[in-house]
Amino acid sequence: MKYEFIDKVKKLSNEGLTQMVQQVHQLLPRSISDMEHDKIQIKIDDFDKEAFSKLTQFVEELIINEAPSKR
């Protein structure tokens, strides 16, 4: 389940990643650690089941919204 989530996150654009980080900051700010070179680390093992579910749904919606429409 965790690896499926990571694969979905890898599909996000930079804007999508920014939105996801903002969402994580609202749900579980303690799971975010600052790293070197303006990078962050998100410890998804710190998420409870509800937060993980909300974040997974949020990421899935971002992926759908970022997908080019096929007209």
In this prediction the pTM is 0.83
Domain ranges for the chain: 2-65
Whole-number pLDDT of residue 67: 82
Structure token digits, residue 31: 């799971």
Mean pLDDT by 10 residues, the chain (71 residues): 89 94 94 92 92 95 83 53
Whole-number pLDDT of residue 35: 93
What residue ranges in 1-71 does DSSP mark as E strands? 32-34, 40-42
CA dist 55 → 16, 37, 38, 41 (Å): 12, 25, 22, 15
